[in-house]
Structure 1
Amino acid sequence: MAKSGKSSASRIAVWGILLLLVAGLAGFGSSGLSGNISSIGSVGETPITVQEYQRGLQQEIDFESRRRGTPVSMQTALLEGLDVRVRGRLAATTALTEEARLMGLSVGDAEVLSQLQQVPAFQGPDGAFNRETYEFALERNDVRPTEFEDDLRKTAARQLLQQSVTGGLTLNESYAETLYGFIGERRSFRWAVLDAALLATPNDAPTDAELKAFYEENGTQFETLEVRKISYAWLTPDMLVDEITPNEDELRALYDERSDEFNQPERRIVERLGFADSEAASAAKAAIDAGETSFDDLVTERGLTLEDVDQGEVARNDLDGPIADAVFAMTEPGISAPVETSLGPALYRVNAVLEAQEITFDEVRDDLVAEAAEDQARRAVLDKLTDVEDLLAGGATLEELGTDTDLEFGQIDFSETNQEGIAGYDNFREEAARLNEGDFPEARELSDGGIFAARLDEIVPPALPALADIRDDVVAAWNAAETKRRLTALGDDLKAQLDQGTAMEALGLDGRTETDRGRTEFIEDTPVALLITAFELEKASDTALIPTDDGAILVELLDISAADLAADDAQDFLTQLSQQGSAGLAADVFELYGQAVQARHGLSLDQVAVNAVNASIR
C-alpha cells in the first residue's frame, strides 16, 4: 500500500512539473534579444539561460499582476525585487542541475517519452500521445523539441537527486497523533453573559471630581482627529458630460463597433469528446443513453477535465457543416450522435441553447449617447492635464485654475474619516496624506478619469476639547467604564461561588450549554475568546471570567473528550497529516542541501546580460 501511494505521489509530481514546463513556454521562444547573449550567468559549468530568466521573470510579473488585480510594470518589478527573487530561484535549481551533472544523474529517451505521453496538452483526439500535436504546441511558442526535452531531462535529474537525498524521510507517528489529539479534542462547557441587567441598581451619577479625573486619565479617547486643511482644483468627466452631445455619426460608429454585442446569431455552449474510431464513439453514446455511464465519466476515464473538452460558445458559422448540423439540430441541452470530424469521430454535448439576438440602433441609442458622452468627457479632461501641468509650472495658483480654466476650486478639512466629495477618491486621499506645507501643487489623475491638484494650507493637530464642550460624551464613557467595573467585580464574586459548587441557575444566571464543541468551531454571537478560554481550562469544573467590551462572560468547563484516534476520519487525517509533515521535512532538508550545493559550486552572474533581459520586458 505504501509503495502504491508513493508511486502515485511521484506520478502527480511529474505531471505537475511537465505542466509547469508547458505553461511556462507560453509566449516565450528562443528569440526576443538581439546579439549573442545566451545566458545570464552560471552555477559551476551549468548556465542559467536567457530564456529561463526571461520566462521566469515574466511569469513572476504575471503572477503578481493577477494576485494584485492590477498590472505590475517592469519598473515596479525591479523596485520590489521580483527580478532578484527569480534569479535566486533559478540559481537554486541550476545548482541542483550542476550537482546532478557531476554525479552523472540522467534519464533515458524512454523515460522522457513516457513522461511526455502523460501530458494532456500533447495528446490527440483519441487521448494518446500525438507527435504532431506535441511539435505543434512547441512550434507555436518558437521552442524546439530538443530544447524542451533537455529541460525535461534536467528536471527529471533534479527529481532523482531530490529522491536520493530525501527518500525515506518520514516523521514519527507521534507527530501526527499529537497534532490530531490537540485538534480533535472536544469540550463541553456552560457559559453566561454578565450584562447591566444583572446589576441591582443603576450607576450613581458621577461627581464633578470623578468626571474630571476620568476625563484627564482618558484624554486620548476624546481627542479630535488631525485635520489637514487642503485647497484643491479639480475636474471630473461628470462635470463636463452634460455639456457634450455626441453627433449621429459618432453614435452610428459606436453601434457598428459593438455590432457583435448587439446582434448575435443563434449559439450553443458545447463540449467535444473525441474517440479513436466510430465503433468506440457509438458504443459510448449507447452506454450514455442506457444510463450505464455519463459524458462526465467518459471525460474522467480518458484522464481529461471538462476544461479540456470545452468548446465554449459557438455559432453555426464557427463549425464545419456536419458538426454544425448535428449541434444546431438540438433545440435543448443534450448529447449528439457520433459526428465525423477532421480529427476523427466525436460526441458533442450541448449545455445551453442561446437564441439569436438583434438589438436595433434605436433601442440602444440612449445608452450609446451616455457612453459616448462619458468617453468624450474623459478624453476632454485628460486632454487638459498637460495644460494644467504647464500652468502650475508657470506659477499659477489653484485659485487661478478655478477662475481661468474649467477646473473647480475648493477647500476641505481632510481627516482619515472624511469620505465626502473629492475625499472619496483613493488617489486624492493618498495625495492628501502625503502633502507637506510648502509643497507646490502637482497635477494628478483620479480613478474615474478626472484630474486634480492640491495644496496643504495648514495642519491642525489632534486636540482635547474642553470638558464643558464634550461633557455628555465623557459622562457616557464614564458610565460604560463604571458598568464594566461593577460587572467585573460581580463576576469575580459569582466565579468564586461557582468554584464552590453553586450552579449557574442558583446564582440567577441564564446559562447556556455547549456540548462537544471543537476548538475550531464558531459559536454565533459570542467573542472568539469564549472558545479559546474553554480550551485553556485544564479540567472539568474549572471556571474563568472573560472580559468583554461591555461586561464579562462566565464560563465553566463540564467535560473533556479526547480525540478518537481510531475513527475512520481520524485515520484519514493522520495519514494525510503524516504525509504532509514528511513532505515538509523533506522539503526543508532538500532546501538546506540545495543551499550547500550552491555555495560549493558558486554562482556567477553577467549583469550586462541581466540588464539586457530586463530591458526586453515591457
Structure 2
Amino acid sequence: MAEERRKKKSNAVVWAVLALLILALGGFGIGSFGGSLSSVAEVGDREITVEDYGRALQNEQARLAQQTGQNLTMAQLQTFGIDRAVMERLLAEQALAWEAGQMGLSVGDAEVAERIRATPAFGGLDGGFDRDGYAFALRNAGLSEAEYEARVRDDVATELLQAAVLGGTESPEARVDALVAWLAETRDATLATVTVADLPAGITAPTEADLQAFYEENLTRFETPERREITYAWITPDLLVDAIEPDETALRELYEARADEYRQPARVLAERLAFPDAAAAEAARAAIAAGETDFDALVAERGLTLDDVDQGEIAADDVDAPVAEALFGLEDPGVVGPVETLLGPTLFRVYAILDPTEVPFEEARDDLAAEFAADAARRRIDAARDEIDDLLAGGATLEELAAETDLQLGSIGFDETVIDGIAGYDEFRAAALDVTEGDFPELETLSDGGLFALRLDGVTPPATPPLADIRDAVEAAWQADTLRRRLSERAEELAAAAELPGTPETLAGLGRDARLEGTPPALLDALFEAEPEAVFAVEGGADAAYVVRLDAVNEADLSDPETAELREALIASQRQEIATDLFSLYGRAVQARAGFTVDQQAVQAVQAQLLGQ
C-alpha cells in the first residue's frame, strides 16, 4: 500500500508536523552554552560561534549514528579525532566565505529567497513554501531570519567561488587511457586442482615423535584462554516479571489508553484528485461514468502518479463532513464527487472499505499484563538503584547485596568464549575483562535496564594442556598443516614439469575483478603478474593446491560498451580526485592568507558541555 498521507484537522498534529522541520534543518536547535564565550575561532573577519561548533559536532554524531548504528559519545569523537576534523571543516568553510567576500562575490535577495522557498524543510502540508513553518523552525533553532538568510547568501557565494576554481578541471586523457587499458585487460588460463589423490603416498599418519615435536613448536596454538572466576549480583526486568502481580484496574486503564490500537473505526483507502474548477471536475466525473476514461488515466494526464494522489487510510473524523459523507456513503469501492475541499472541487476514488474492528480486553489482557509487568519491573529496578549504590558505598559485599535487595547472586568461570546468561551482555563482558583483583564492586547498567555488580575472585592464566589431554586436537592440526604443505609441494613439482593433473578447467576472459569460487585471491593476482605460457603453482587451503597455465593476455577492447562505460567512470572519478585535491590546496592557501585563530578554551567549553549530555 502506498505511504500513508492523511489530512488532519487537529492543530496539535499540524504543529507537530511543523516541529519536524527542525530535524530536517540538519540538527538546528542546540542549547545555549552560556558563559561569556561567543566564538570558538576566527578566520579573517569571520567568526565560528560556539553554537555553530556545537551544532556541527552534534550533526556529525547523528550522521555517524545513522551510518554505523552506534551512538558515539563526545569522548569517542575526541579519541577518533572527529572533533578536530569538524573544526578543520568549519575553518575551511569560513575561509572560503571570507575569500568570496574579498572578491566581492554575492547574490541578490531574489536568489536567496528562491533557495529558501526550494528547501524541502520549509514545505507546508500542501507541498508549497510555508511562511509560518519557516519562522517556526528558525525560532526553535535559535536563529533570526536575517541570520539564516545571511548564511544562505554566504553558501551561494561559496558555491560560485568553488565553481570558478574547479570549472576547468579535466582528467589527462593519457592517464585515463592507461588506466582503462590496465583495468580492462583480461587473461585466458587453464586451471588444475591438486588434491589428495595426486599425492603419491596419500594421507600419512603422524608418529608420536611427529606429534610431540609439532606440539612443542605450537604451544601457544593450543593454549586455553585466561579464565576469570567472578562472583556477581544482578537483576533484570525478566528476572522480576514473574514476581509482579498485574493490577486489573491498571490493565484496564492501559487498555483504554491504547484504545486507538484496539478499536479502529470504519475506514476507507482512497485517492484524491483535485480540479481547478467545478466544471472540469463534473466533466471528468461524467467521462468516468460514460466509460470514456477512468481515474488512472485522469491522474496520468495531470503528470501525477498514484502515489502522488494516494491518501492512505481515512476515518470519518480525519476529514471534513462533506468529504466524510461522500466517502462513507459508498457500499462498494468506486469514485465519488466532486466534493468541495480546500484544494478545490475534488474526485475521490475509494479502493477499499475497512470495517470497524475491536479487540476485546480479554483478548488483549495477556499482552497488556506482560507489558505492565515489564514496565513495573524496570521502574522497580530504577527505584532501587540509589539504595544499591548506597549499600555498595557503605562496603556491603555482593552476598549482603543479594540478601537485602532484589539482586540475585551468581558466579561464573568467564573467558571470551562464554556467552551464556549474564555473559551474553556486552556491558558485563567489558566489566569482567576490565576488573582487577581487589577492586570494589561498582553498580553497572545492562542494555535491558538491568543492574549488576561483580567481583574478581581469581584468575587462571592461559595455559597449554598436556599433550595427552589434547592429542586429538594436536593430531588434527598436524594433519591439516602437513596436508597443506604436501599439496603445495606437489603443485610446485607439477608446475616445474608443466603438468596439469586431473581434468583441467579452461578459463577465458578473466578480468582483474573476477571471482574464482574456492580459490584464494592470490591465484588471480599471480595470473596477472605472470608471463604468457607460464605455468605456476598456487597454495590453496587444507585440501587443495593449484597449477595454473597462462594461455593468453587479451588487451582491452575499447569498442566494448562496458569498457566505454568504465572509461567514462574513470574520467569522472579522476576529475573528482583532481578537483578535491585542487580545492583542498586552494582552501588551505586562502586560510593561510586570511589568518585564523582557534580559542581552545571555548572549544573545550563546548566539548565539556556535550560530554555531559
Q: Distance in 1 between matches of 2:272 and 2:384?
A: 53
CA–CA separation in structure 2 for the residues paired with 1:288 and 1:27: 48
Give the Cα separation in 2 of the matches to 1:57 and 1:200.
Answer: 66
- Residue 433 of structure 1 is matched in structure 2 by 433
Q: Deviations over 1:484-539 (max 9, x none)?
A: 22222221122223x2xx4x3xx3x1333333333324344444444444334342
Matching residue's letter, 1:196: V
The more displaced of 26-35 and 37-46 is 26-35
Q: Is the 8 A contact 1:25 1:141 kept in 2?
A: no
Match of 1:472 in 2: 472
Q: Which residue in 1 is equivalent to 2:134?
A: 137
1:548, 1:489 → 2: CA distance?
13
Larger CA deviation: 177-186 vs 22-31: 22-31
Are 1:598 and 2:603 counterparts?
Answer: no
CA distance in 2, matches of 1:295, 1:217: 77
Residue in 2 that maps onto 1:298: 303
Q: For residue 166 of structure 1, what is the aligned residue in structure 2?
A: 166
Q: Does the CA-based 8 Å contact 2:32-2:51 persist in structure 1? A: no
Report if aligned partners of 2:232, 2:398 keep a CA contact under 8 Å in 1.
Answer: yes
AA in 2 matched with 1:315: A
Query: What is the CA-CA distance between 1:31 and the residue it aligns to?
Result: 8.8
RMSD of Structure 2 on Structure 1 (CA) = 3.9
Counterpart position of 2:579:
586
> For the structure 1 residues 274 and 463, does the alpha-carbon distance in structure 2 shift closer, same or farther, using more than 3 Å as the test?
farther
Matched residue type, 1:477: A
Tell me the amino acid that sits aligned with residue 206 of structure 2: P
1:520 is aligned to 513
Q: Provide the C-alpha distance between the structure 2 equivalents of 1:335 and 1:565, rounded to a whole number of angstroms.
A: 57
Query: Counterpart of 1:559 in structure 2: which amino acid?
Result: A
Counterpart residue number, 1:183: 183
| Aligned partner letter, 1:589 | L
Equivalent pair of 2:535/2:547 in contact (CA under 8 Å): no
Q: Counterparts in 2 of 1:497-516, with a 5 A limit?
A: 497=497, 499=498, 502=499, 504=500, 507=501, 509-516=502-509
- Report how far residue 327 of structure 1 moved: 5.8
Which residue of structure 2 aligns with residue 94 of structure 1? 94
The 1:44/1:147 distance shift into structure 2, 3 A limit, reads same
Residue 466 of structure 1, CA deviation:
1.5
* Deviations, residues 388-432 of structure 1 (Å, cap 9, x unaligned): 222222222223334444332222111111112221111111111
Distance 2:546 2:313 in 1: 58
2:561 matched to 1:564?
A: no
Q: 1:208-607 counterparts in 2 under 5 A?
A: 208-267=208-267, 289=294, 295=300, 298-299=303-304, 313-324=313-324, 340-344=340-344, 356-497=356-497, 499=498, 502=499, 504=500, 507=501, 509-605=502-598
Deviations 1:347-373 (A, max 9, x none): 768787665431111011112222222
Shift in CA distance, 180/474, structure 1 to aligned 2, threshold 3 Å: same
**Structure 1 unmatched ranges of 5 or more:** 1-20
- Shift in Å, 1:575: 2.3
Query: Is the Cα–Cα contact under 8 Å of residues 402 and 408 in structure 2 kept in the other structure?
Result: yes
Q: Which amino acid aligns with 1:133?
A: D
Deviations along 1:59-105, one digit per CA (max 9) or x if unpaired, are: 22322333343545566656766554433322211111111111111
Note the alpha carbon deviations across 1:459-487, whole angstroms, 9 max, x for none. 21111211222222222222222222222
Q: Deviations over 1:541-594 (max 9, x none)?
A: 543323323331223333333332223333333223312321221121111111
Q: How many Å apart are 1:434 and its aligned residue?
A: 0.7
Taking the aligned partners of 1:466 and 1:330, their CA distance within structure 2 comes to: 84
Matches within 5 A, 1:33-52: 39-49=39-49, 52=52
Aligned length: 583
Helix, strand or coil for the counterpart of 1:470?
Answer: helix
Worse-superposed segment, 549-558 or 32-41 = 32-41
> Quick one: distance in 1 between partners of 2:23 and 2:401?
52
Identity of aligned residues (%): 44
What SS does structure 1 have at the residue aligned with 2:552?
strand
**Corresponding residue of 2:58:** 58
SS across alignment from 2:370: helix
CA distance in 2, matches of 1:386, 1:206: 63
Q: TM-score, normalised by structure 1?
A: 0.81
Q: Distance in 2 between matches of 1:216 and 1:374?
A: 54
Contact 2:435 2:456 in 1 (8 A): yes
Comparing 339-348 with 590-599, which one deviates more in the overlay?
339-348
Query: Does the CA-based 8 Å contact 1:241-1:374 persist in structure 2?
Result: yes
For 2:137, give the aligned amino acid.
R
- Choose 152-161 or 541-550, whichever is displaced more: 541-550
Deviation at 1:195, TM superposition (A): 2.4
2:266–2:315 Cα contact (<8 Å) kept: yes
2:258 counterpart letter in structure 1: R
Distance 1:313 1:549, change over 3 A: farther
Distance 2:358 2:134 in 1: 38
What SS does structure 2 have at the residue aligned with 1:456?
strand
In 2, the alpha carbon distance for the partners of 1:512 and 1:450 equals 59
Counterpart contact for 1:540–1:560, Cα < 8 Å = no
Aligned partner of 1:63: which letter?
Answer: R
1:608/1:425 CA distance change after superposition, 3 Å: closer
CA distance in 2, matches of 1:354, 1:561: 64
Partner residue of 1:6?
Answer: none
Q: Structure 1 residues 580 and 474, CA, compared in 2 at 3 Å: closer, same or farther? A: closer
Letter in 1 for 2:372: A
Q: Distance in 2 between matches of 1:38 and 1:211?
A: 72
Provide closer, same or farther for how the CA distance between residues 478 and 35 of structure 1 changes in structure 2, counting only shifts above 3 A: closer
User: Normalized against structure 2, the TM-score is what?
Assistant: 0.82
Q: Distance in 2 between matches of 1:338 and 1:558?
A: 75
Q: 1:270 to 1:443 in 2, by over 3 A?
A: farther
CA–CA distance in structure 1, aligned partners of residues 349 and 50 of structure 2: 44
Instruction: Give yes or no for contact 1:125–1:344 (8 Å, CA) kept in 2.
Output: no
Structure 2: stretches of 5+ with no match in the other structure:
1-20
